[in-house]
């Protein structure tokens, strides 16, 4: 007889992809896990695959970034003991019917309470923090770096490794070179996927979000912010925007 169960202390956590329940035939041969259906698939599908990129306007990209940051912040600051995801990337970020992000796939996640160095590198190429490859030390700042790369993908529409970046260079190196060049042209090149037809106010939001991504991908772990601070900075980037209708009404009033 099939047995259906739900977690004893089920808690709905925004932006984390949780098990809703499980089903077993009573033996040890078959166990099925029940998850919420995510109709918009993964962020990787939308950014780089067959997904509908029209769903990814600037507001949607920013909301996804905030959602992922909130999910990782929950792992780092609200779990006891804290948890490092260790494989944060667009294919592990799922999107529900409202385009809210859920952090998924905890197969290599690690509790951080007295965690010893790992015996091998876990994670995906392009998202691994530079120091992790030689220290093998698990901590929150490794996830912060991975999140920064994901945020750069949202801003640029590019993958973490592309021939255009140059041999041995990543999306982080490419963006930093463009920023060092200065001027609006550099920002336009970096965020070409969402830059066109945006107001100056929106472009300011994009520039502030890019600044957060660059902080997260600092080479020094000590210079990277906590994920709780990342959430605050991303929310602050859009806090002062005036509603479009109100801005249009104000502009019309000025011309009369």
- pLDDT tens for residues 211-255? 999 999 999 999 999 999 999 999 999 876 665 544 454 444 444
Which residues, in sequence order, are CB contacts of 64 under 8 Å at separation 6+?
A: 43, 93, 95, 99, 101, 154
Strand order in the sheet with 3-5: 3-5, 19-24, 31-35
pLDDT tens for each residue of 174-192: 999 999 987 777 999 999 9
Alpha-carbon distance values, 153 to 93, 172, 247 (Å): 13, 10, 30
**pLDDT at residue 121 in the model:** 57
- CB atoms closer than 10 angstroms to residue 143: 28
Highest mean pLDDT among 10-14, 59-63, 107-111: 59-63
Residue pair 203/195 in contact by the 8 Å Cβ criterion: yes
pLDDT tens for each residue of 85-104: 999 999 999 999 999 999 99
Catalytic machinery residues: 87
Which whole number is the average pLDDT over 132-150?
90
Band of pLDDT at residue 106, cut at 50, 70 and 90: confident
Domains of the chain: 3-35 (no CATH), 43-242 (1.10.510.10)
Determine which of 119-123, 150-154, 232-236 has the lowest per-residue pLDDT on average: 119-123
Q: Which helix (H) or strand (E) holds 208?
A: helix 200-216
pLDDT tens for each residue of 49-71: 876 777 799 999 999 999 999 99
């Amino acid at each position: 007889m099939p047995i259906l169960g739900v977690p004893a202390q089920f808690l709905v956590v925004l932006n984390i992809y949780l098990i809703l329940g499980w089903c077993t035939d009573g033996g040890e041969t078959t166990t099925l896990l029940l998850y919420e259906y995510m109709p918009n698939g993964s962020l990787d599908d939308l950014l780089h695959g067959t997904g509908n990129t029209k769903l990814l306007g600037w507001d949607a990209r920013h909301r996804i970034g905030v959602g992922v940051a909130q999910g990782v912040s929950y792992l780092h600051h609200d779990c006891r003991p804290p948890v490092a995801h260790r494989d944060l990337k667009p294919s592990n970020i799922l999107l529900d019917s409202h385009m809210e992000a859920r952090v998924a796939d905890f197969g290599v996640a690690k509790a951080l309470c007295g965690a010893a160095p790992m015996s091998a590198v876990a994670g995906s190429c392009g998202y691994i923090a530079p120091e992790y490859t030689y220290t093998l030390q698990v901590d929150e700042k490794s996830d912060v770096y991975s999140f920064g790369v994901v945020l750069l993908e949202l801003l640029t529409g590019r993958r973490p490794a592309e021939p255009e970046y140059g041999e041995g260079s990543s999306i982080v190196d490419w963006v930093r070179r463009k920023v060092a060049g200065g001027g609006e042209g550099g920002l336009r090149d970096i965020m070409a996927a969402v830059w066109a037809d945006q107001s100056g106010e929106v472009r300011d939001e994009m520039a502030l979000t890019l600044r957060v991504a660059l902080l997260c991908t600092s080479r020094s772990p000590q210079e990277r912010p906590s994920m709780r601070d990342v959430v605050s900075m991303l929310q602050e980037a859009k806090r002062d925007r005036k509603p479009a209708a109100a801005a249009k009404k104000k502009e019309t009033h000025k011309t009369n």
